[in-house]
Structures are given as C-alpha cells and as structure tokens.
Amino acid sequence: MTRITISELAAALGAPFVGNGALTVARACEPQDAGKDDLALAMDPRFADAIAAGEARAAVLWADADAQALGLDAAILVGRGRLAMAGITAAFDKGLGLEDGIHPSAVIHPTAQVGANATIGPLVVIGAGAQIGANARIAAQVSVGAGVRIGDDALIHAGAKIGARAQIGHRIIIQPGAVIGADGFSFVTVEKSHVEEARESLGASVAAEGQAWQRIASIGGVEIGDDVEIGANVTIDQGTIRATRIGSGSKLDNQVHIGHNVVVGKHCLLCGQVGIAGSTVLGDYVVMGGQAGAADNLTIGSGAIIGAGTGVLSNVPKGRSMMGYPAVAMQTHVEMYKSLRRLPRILAKLKGGSDKE
C-alpha cells in the first residue's frame, strides 16, 4: 500500500501544512469514513462536523481552518478545494495495475516500434509500422492499427480501439471502449436525393424519388494533440479527405461522438453524450454540456458555452453562451422559459375573462 507524508503531499499541492508533517496517510477518504491511516478531505467548513464522525488524524482543510480545534494531528490548508483534488487524486492513483514490460500474449508487428519503459498488457495488438512512445501504459485487449503514432506517456485503458493512421500526441489518456478512427458516416446518391432537396428548399418541395446510398470512404485519419483525455466509449470518426482533429488539452467525456472532418480546438470540454456532426469547427476553450449537439458544417467560436441539451443549428459567435433547442442566447432562453411557464396562468385568466363576457 502506497503511503505519503503530509509534508510530501503539501509540497506536491504547493500548499502549507500545520502539525506533524511526518505523519503518513494511505488513502484519501470523505471525512466521516476516514480511519486513523486515512486522509480526510474537508476543504469546506460545511464538512467540519463530519471530521468528528470519522477517525482521521490528518485532513485537507480550507485555508483558515483551525486544525487543532478539530482534533487533528496534521492538516494541509488549501484555497481552492477542487483544484487541490487534482493533486490529491494524482498522489493516490494506483494506475492500471499492469506488470512492467510486454505481456507474452501481446501481438506486436515486427515493423512496429515500442518506446523505452513501455508496459503492454495481455492480448494487445499493435499493427504494422505503428509507433508507441516511451513510458506508454497500454491495458488488455487494446488494438492499435497500422501506421498509428502515439506520443510519450500514453495511458490507454482496456478495450480501446485505435484505427489505422491515427496520429496522437503526448500524455494521451484513453478510457475503456473508446474507438478512434472509425469510418465517417458519409453517403451519396447517384442523382440529387430527397434529403438534398429538403435542405435546399427547407422542406417546401421534395420531389426526388428514393435511391440507394453509395458509400464515401474515409481516408483522412484522425489527429489528436497533447494532453487530451478521451472518455469511455467515445467515438471519433476519421476524416473523409483531411483529418478529424482534436486540439491539445481538450477533454471528452464518456459517449461523446465526433463526426468526420470535425475540428475541436484547444482546451475544449465536451461533456457526456455530446454529438458533433461532420465538418463542424469548434474554436478553443469551447464548453458543451451533456447531451448538447451541433449540426454539420457549422462554426462555434472560441470561448462559447453551450448548455446541456442544447441543439446548435447555426453558427455561434465567439464567447457566446447558448441554450435551448434551437440554440438561442442563454439569457433569451431563460426569458422564453419563464414566459412559457406563465402561459397556463395567462390562458386561464383569458378564459375566465371571456366567460364573464
């Protein structure tokens, strides 16, 4: 079991500590559940009473907390609790639990290159010409296609699939079941289809007959920058001709879908079940809440915030906050929602007035 001293953890967090800095802790816990060897996390005064319910001797507390009054032998004092959580969880992260080296059941093509100190788990398949950077940790049953390049310090969880030719930067984290580099959903008909007519006329005239769909192959690949995190069961389609791109520092939550030719800028945050249709471009620092979606061939400007469940059907200027379906400015949506809730009362008054007349 990994143990860490209070002084070591405080140094890692860049925060001061009080009390016995040599005291060691084995894991982080909520304060009411903490034992004598645990670190209680109580970074807000609201959790002060919960410390007494547990047995912790050490805790992470808010900046001006009185550790001695709380009965603690040691404490780390932090200004931003959620930011401290990043360092605390990193300190106690046990990783994948893989044995060092390359498992004998892994299948690695003779032309593939695996960097120094890489750990390759059971039943991993690495294709021809693939390049895996130094210090990679790849869990069981991961598939890496031909010609893929992955930078240093990769962390790839079990069952992830990376299609041929994907180019991935340093410090990638890929959660279980993610699929990177599937073919895009791209089809065409021999003659103009009824879908094309509907789009051009906005549904006013649709005269075309139904036709068979002809497949458009995807040959553009996927390009992913540095420090990107890909959630569980995320799907990223490769581009048709140019690559689908995910910018450095972006984070994709579970079940996000990125269509072919999409460009996601740097440091974007896409929450669970977000869907981005083909060829849409997101600027840098865009945030999209859960189940938000964007139609194809749009531009969402840098710094835009798209609320949960929002349907983006037209371009969004940079820095704009949007909500609703179809998406409108967040303040406008709130006013629309308030008005909608007033409708039953207004209609009841109108009905009452007409009855009196």
Q: What residues are labeled active site?
A: 260
CA angle 291, 297, 301 (to 5 degrees): 70
Best CA proximity match to 112, nearest among 122, 104, 124, 121:
124
The secondary structure element, H or E, covering residue 84 is: helix 81-92
For residue 227, what are the contacts with CB-CB under 8 A and spacing of at least 6?
169, 170, 171, 172, 248, 249
Best CA proximity match to 283, nearest among 262, 253, 312:
262
**How far apart are the C-alpha atoms of 323 and 317, rounded to whole Å?**
14
Please tell me the number of Cα atoms within 13 Å of 167 on its side-chain side: 11
For residue 341, what are the contacts with CB-CB under 8 A and spacing of at least 6?
none
CA angle 99, 103, 105 (to 5 degrees): 145
CB–CB of 208/194 below 8 Å? yes
